[in-house]
């Protein structure tokens, strides 16, 4: 019996290898095992494993994640549509959310709402006081990661619902809603960090391995109750406009609330993580921290706090943020997409239904693309804003590219820039002890520091009186 199984496996592996050659598929690691495919090769963190495989087999490789064919690209290409994963079914409104919807009228409407109603330059400028206020609420810093998460969540929720959900000034009347919101955020981040093997081995769904689907369904029910409570609050506020305009505004508001889960998962942990990485890099490079402080002091003086409108005057701060995103992108693998039809990539045949993974981390650590990519050099981005070179744009795309790029890029750069700039301006920073800040990463919902940042900070001498008045 054992010999027969061994013979079957050998025959399957050889047949699979020969078939890939005849179909002109991209290079693939040998062997491809029955049932599991190449899952036996995958180790955490996934982006580093895929980079090692790409270094060995080339920038385009073809893998089998169980029964799911996967194309890993370490150079930018167009994306088709997202794959059908379990989380997308239950948390993405059956693949109709902004991040997961197929390209078409529905997706264009969601993109229009997010781009015009929430994230347009005019809208962001109009509501800049919200982000300035949240930055001032964080002038006393203890736990940096928690402070960053609360800042971004409060800024996002005030943008959408006009309510703070973290901090001392949270309204008592909203206590139940606040508790529900915090539970939703915590559970979303927790489940978002898990890999469900049933996505790659569908037969396991019948056995309910890990109970993942039940947990996703319960989370979505809680999210829907929360969204409905926000919608009801909005309806109770009333509207002074005529009936037709009122109907349009309510329809838009419902659309906005439908996008809320995507904005929260895609715009909070990512921004908070980038702030933590940036401060960690600066603490490990105190001479660059002093350079950033000098720029802010020379441009803004000491008699006021940093305002969002000041960011345009601080090009070196922008370079620091860009270099942080280059070295530690929030999403080391861009959002997966799925080929809707047979296509050609790099001269190779890619069958319909193949999942595409763009290894952004591998691209941004490729020494043929970036010189000395492992060292923190913000100066490499000086003059970046004026560059129009098509290829250069694809060398650096932490927010993706094309029509599927993140619509919240403008908001993220404002939030991160204001927060990091305010911390540099208001405080003097130093590491705890002589050891360098640990820079190991862990990939959960996003790529975060494996160990939270702890640092010593004290108000700058020129800022003590100003901070005491807040």
H helix runs in 59-207, sequence order: 86-90, 105-112, 121-126, 128-137, 144-160, 175-192
- From CA 280, how far away is CA 286, in angstroms rounded? 10
Question: 92 and 47 in contact (C-beta within 8 Å)?
Answer: no
The DSSP code for 469 is: T
- Supply the DSSP symbol for 335: P
Judged by DSSP in three states, 278 sits in helix
Burial zone of 403 (CB within 10 Å; 0-12 exposed, 13-18 middle, 19+ buried): exposed
Distance CA 114, CA 264 (A): 13
pTM recorded for the entire structure:
0.78
**Residue 265 CA neighbour count, 13 Å, CB half:** 24
**CA distances from residue 210 to 36, 215, 252 in whole angstroms, order as listed:** 18, 9, 38
- Measure the CA–CA gap between 229 and 235, rounded to whole angstroms: 10
Q: Residue 55: which H helix or E strand, with range?
A: helix 46-57
Q: State both tokens at 31.
A: 């062997």
Q: Rounded to the nearest 5°, which phi and psi values hold at 64?
A: -120, 110
- Separation of alpha carbons 237 and 440, rounded Å: 47
Distance, CA of 463 to CA of 28 (rounded, Å): 58
What DSSP state is assigned to residue 251? H
Quickly tell me which residue has 């009333």 as its tokens. 238
* pLDDT in single tens digits along all 470 residues of the chain: 666 666 655 655 565 555 655 678 899 998 888 888 899 999 989 999 999 999 999 999 999 998 889 999 987 544 444 444 444 444 444 455 555 556 666 566 666 666 655 556 655 566 565 556 655 555 444 568 888 888 888 887 777 777 777 766 555 446 777 778 778 877 877 776 666 666 667 666 666 655 777 888 888 888 888 877 877 776 776 544 454 555 555 555 555 555 666 666 666 788 999 999 999 999 999 999 999 999 999 999 988 999 989 999 999 999 999 999 999 999 899 888 888 788 888 888 888 889 888 899 999 999 988 999 999 999 999 877 655 555 566 788 898 877 777 777 888 899 999 999 999 999 999 998 889 999 999 987 789 999 999 888 888 888 877 777 76
Q: What angle do CA 110, 116, 122 make, to 5 degrees?
A: 160
| Angle in degrees, 0-180, between the axes of helices 243-267 and 212-237, rounded to the nearest 10 | 140
What one-character-per-residue DSSP string does 203-234 give?
Answer: GGGGGTGGGHHHHHHHHHHHHHHHHHHHHHHH
3-class DSSP state of 249: helix
- For residues 134 and 140, give the distance between their C-alpha atoms in angstroms, rounded to a whole number: 12
Residue 101: name the closest of 82, 86, 85 by CA. 82
Helix (H) or strand (E) holding 200: none
Q: Which domains are assigned to the chain?
A: 86-468 (1.10.630.10)
d(CA 88, CA 97): 8
CB 333 within 8 A of CB 397: no
């Amino acid at each position: 019996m054992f010999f027969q199984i061994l013979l079957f496996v050998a025959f399957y592996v050889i047949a699979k290898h020969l078939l890939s050659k005849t179909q002109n598929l991209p290079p693939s690691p040998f062997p491809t095992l029955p049932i599991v495919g190449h899952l036996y090769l995958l180790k955490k963190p996934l982006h580093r494993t895929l980079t090692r495989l790409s270094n060995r087999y080339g920038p385009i490789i073809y893998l089998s994640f169980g029964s799911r064919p996967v194309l890993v690209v370490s150079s930018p290409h167009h994306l088709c549509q997202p794959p059908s994963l379990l989380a997308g079914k239950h948390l993405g409104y059956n693949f109709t959310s902004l991040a997961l919807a197929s390209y078409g009228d529905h997706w264009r409407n969601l993109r229009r709402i997010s781009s015009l109603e929430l994230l347009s330059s005019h809208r962001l400028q109009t509501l800049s006081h919200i982000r300035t206020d949240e930055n001032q609420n964080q002038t006393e810093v203890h736990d940096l990661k928690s402070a960053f998460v609360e800042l971004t969540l409060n800024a996002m929720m005030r943008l959408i619902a006009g309510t703070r959900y973290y901090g001392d000034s949270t309204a008592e009347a909203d206590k139940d809603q606040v508790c529900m919101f915090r539970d939703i955020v915590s559970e979303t981040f927790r489940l978002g960090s898990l890999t469900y093997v049933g996505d790659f081995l569908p037969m396991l769904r019948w056995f309910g391995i890990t109970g993942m689907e039940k947990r996703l369904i319960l989370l979505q029910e809680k999210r829907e109750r929360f969204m409905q409570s926000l919608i009801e609050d909005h309806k109770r506020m009333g509207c002074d406009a005529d009936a037709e305009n009122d109907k349009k505004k309510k329809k838009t508001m419902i659309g906005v609330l439908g996008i809320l889960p995507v904005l929260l998962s895609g715009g909070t942990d990512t921004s908070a993580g980038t702030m933590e990485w940036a401060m960690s890099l600066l603490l490990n490079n105190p001479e660059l921290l002093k350079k950033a402080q000098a720029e802010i002091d020379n441009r803004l003086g000491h008699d006021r706090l940093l305002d969002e409108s000041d960011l345009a005057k601080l090009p070196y701060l922008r370079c620091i943020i860009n270099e942080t995103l280059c070295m530690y992108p929030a999403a080391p693998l861009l959002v997966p997409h799925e080929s809707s039809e047979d296509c050609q990539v790099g001269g190779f045949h890619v069958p319909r239904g193949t999942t595409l993974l763009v290894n952004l981390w591998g691209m941004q650590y490729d020494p043929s693309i970036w010189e000395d990519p492992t060292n923190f050099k913000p100066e490499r981005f000086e003059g970046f804003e004026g560059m129009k070179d098509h290829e250069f744009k694809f060398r650096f795309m932490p927010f993706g590219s094309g029509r599927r790029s993140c619509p919240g890029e403008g908001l993220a750069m404002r939030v991160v820039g204001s927060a990091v700039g305010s911390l540099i301006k208001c405080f003097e920073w130093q590491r705890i002890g002589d050891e360098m800040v640990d820079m190991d990463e862990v990939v959960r919902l996003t790529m975060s520091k494996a160990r939270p940042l702890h640092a010593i900070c004290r108000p700058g001498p020129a800022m003590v009186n100003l901070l005491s008045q807040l």
